[in-house]
Amino acid sequence: MKNILSLVIGLPVLLTFTAANQKPGHSPLTDLANLTNMTYSLLSLGDSYTIGESVLLAGSFPYQAVQVLRKAGYDFSAPEIIAKTGWTTDELQATINQHKFLPAYDFVTLLIGVNNQYRGRSVENYKPEFESLLKQAIQFAGNKAYRVIVLSIPDWSVTPFAEDRDRKKIAQEIDEYNSAGKSIAEKNKVYFVDITTGTRETATDTSLVAPDGLHPSAKEYSRWAEKIAAIIKAQL
């Protein structure tokens, strides 16, 4: 069976200059404008939910979040995505260990764990690996924990793909994983966004699932993107 589920605060610093050290035609307002006219970066770490399996790249939540922010007047570069369908926490870690990152990113998202659950790994095994990834995500955000956003793991038990599986057991395990993830996120003082509740609406709204019958549709990803953009806009 195929593998499943492949904010720099524009510091409003007012610079004070004396007439003696100003260049001809130069104004402090120009410096202020330059400081606020910044290009922000977003790093997204995860698995298939992050790359947007079964939808166009532009439909993935990192890209949709950036588009929402751009429309709101914020200059964001294209998101950098480190994710692959089927990745577990240790597989994401292995790639991070080999990847060359920027010195720092303005915001970082992390969504990982569904494949741990799918492969039958215990929550106890997930906890230390997830926390290690989260601590690295904080480092990638310039050690600004408030610039890191953890998304809960979606509940795939309600998708057509899980029709012949124990939906109740899957949902229960997803809840256990998310309880652990939320606790670790709160401990490390990062944002934790619940998207699981919304994904369960797939049971009665097929427009929220992609054509593959398993992954979220661009419509569902847009709901995640709005939540992420709202957190980021509050910090800019």
Q: What is the pLDDT of residues 96-150, one digit of tens each?
A: 999 999 999 999 999 999 999 999 999 999 999 999 999 999 999 999 999 999 9
Q: How confident is the model at residue 197 (pLDDT cuts 50, 70, 90)?
A: very high
What is the pTM for the complete model shown?
0.85
Mean pLDDT score across all residues of the chain: 88
Residue 120: inside a domain? yes
By CB atoms closer than 10 A (0-12, 13-18, 19+), residue 111 is: buried
- Are residues 103 and 126 both part of a single domain? yes
Tell me if 4 sits within 8 A of 17, measured CB to CB: no
Q: Which domain holds residue 20?
A: 9-38
Looking at the structure, tell me whether residues 127 and 24 fall in a common domain: no
If one counts the domains in the chain, the total is: 2
Mark whether 58 and 82 lie in a shared domain: yes
Task: Clarify whether residues 180 and 208 are in a common domain.
Answer: yes
In a domain, 1, yes or no: no
Q: Are residues 57 and 20 in the same domain?
A: no
5, pLDDT greater than 50: no
**Residue 160 is encoded by which pair of tokens?**
């057509």
Residue 37 — very low, low, confident or very high, per pLDDT cuts 50/70/90?
low
Cα dihedral 204→60→50→80 (10° resolution): -170
Checking if the pLDDT of 3 tops 50, the result is no
- 4 in a structural domain: no
The residue to which tokens 């720099």 are assigned: 8
Do 185 and 95 fall within a single domain? yes
Is the same domain home to 95 and 204? yes
CATH number for the domain spanning 90: value is 3.40.50.1110
Q: Assess whether 197 and 218 both reside in one domain.
A: yes
Question: Do 115 and 29 fall into the same domain?
Answer: no
pLDDT value, residue 87:
98
For residue 90, tell me if it sits in a domain.
yes
Whether 33 has a pLDDT exceeding 50, the answer reads no
The verdict on 50 and 166 lying in the same domain is: yes
The tokens of 172 are what? 């229960």
Place of tokens 């790093």: 43
Number of neighbouring beta carbons within 10 Å of residue 226 = 13
- Rg for the chain, CA atoms, rounded: 20
Measure the CA dihedral 90/92/97/101, to 10°.
Answer: -160
Note whether 196 and 96 are same-domain residues.
Answer: yes
